[in-house]
Amino acid sequence: MPRKKRPEGTRAPNGASSIYQDKNGKWHGRVTVGVRDDGRSDRRHVESWDRKVVTKKVRELERARDEGNITKPGEKWTVEQWVEHWLHNIATSTTGDGGWDAYFYATKHIRKHVGAHKLPNLLPDHLEAMYRKMQKAGASSATAHQAHRTIRTALNEAVKRGYLAKNPAVVAKAPKVEEKEVEPFTREEVTQLFKTAREGRNACRWIIAIALGLRQGEVLGLRWTDVDFQEGTLTVDVQRPRPKWKHGCDGACGHKHGGHCPQRINTRSETKRPKSRAGRRPIGLPHPVLEELKQHATEQTAEREAAGELWSDAGWLFTNETGKPLNYRTDLARWKQLLSDAGVRDARLHDARHTAATVLLELGIPDRTAMEIMGWSNVALTQRYQHVTGHVLGTVAEKLGDHLWKASEKPSDEPPEKGN
């Protein structure tokens, strides 16, 4: 018996797209786009009094389904809601402390400028307007670029999880960041910094930073057990991460930020392992640095005896006056004070690391060895941290002269050829 032809306007079988009209004359369209989390068919519905409109919407849903651009059904996130969810529930498990802090500060701009948009309604134009507003308000191009990287990463995750079809941050044009050339300290500046540092406490802390190029968290995480005076080595095995504070009083203190709470609680561990194997490394100590460390040990012993029972003996290499580890903010403030007291130009503490890397370049240390000393996992970082100074150019020029001129002036052992 031949199968009857399905009348026009009735529902299609087996989950196929369908367009039909109800008893009131309204047109409906239904398209199967996938499977819901509970295993049931995800069938989307559109409607209109105009059949052409419904037909167009059905074709658009089919096209989006076939191209993989269908978002999950359910809650419609705003940008602010998604960024907050991503920051505190996803990024915390995939990002290091430093990277998370950068995301955290960037999300403040994102919430302020585009947070109210529904996730599917966010356009590249909205993001580009945000970057312009940030810079107009005084933010640097680097800060605006960090906001771009943050929203791009957050929305990439939304796309992966089916909450967003396409990431508008991939299309949006980020502001161009003008890289500021770092100027390493000169030998004269280093000498003056060392001299001034020796007039105060923890002089060796700054000498190690400049001479060995250790990161701030690496220096603050050092313990005496990391120093081998016999072998003349220093082992970098842990770091002290920047603390992240929360209220310890349930907000009763009246301060907005947890870091200002008198009963504040650090939510991060006191120490952590470096994020890469290259970060965990032994470093050979130059004899002058070794002598500075011995002098530092003598000075700390005297402080320990003077403090008596107030001394907190946890074995930290650099401490405050009662043996507790140095505070990040206090450490940075003392660096700025050191620069001022030494009459040296203002610079970041991280510029000391650039200086140490450049000295390795001046000494002609091979890239592989420099990577081991500095704790780099990527050889490309040598280009970022090592700067071609006048001394380097002078050395290259001298070697070039020796090779092209002095070599040609040497008498030849071969007798000249006789003419025919």
Residues marked as catalytic:
215, 246, 350, 353, 376, 385
CA distances from 110 to 52, 76, 117, 141, 224 (A): 39, 18, 11, 15, 44
Strand, helix or coil at 319?
strand
Q: How many helices (H) and strands (E) does the chain have?
A: 17, 8
In 164-314, which ranges are E strands?
A: 227-228, 233-236, 245-246, 265-266, 281-284
- Report yes or no: 380 and 353 within 8 Å, Cβ to Cβ: no
Q: What is the DSSP letter of 71?
A: P
Two tokens at 22? 């109800």
Whether the CB-CB separation of 330 and 216 falls below 8 Å is answered with no
**CA dist., res. 233 & res. 293, Å (int):** 11
Specify burial of residue 245 (Cβ count, 10 A radius: 0-12, 13-18, 19+).
Answer: middle
Q: How far is CA 397 from the centre of its chain?
A: 38
SS3 186: coil
Smallest Cα–Cα separation from 281: which of 363, 214, 204, 186? 214
CA dihedral 138, 144, 145, 150 (to 10 degrees): 150
319: phi then psi, degrees, rounded to nearest 5: -135, 175
The residues facing 118 across adjacent strands are: 78
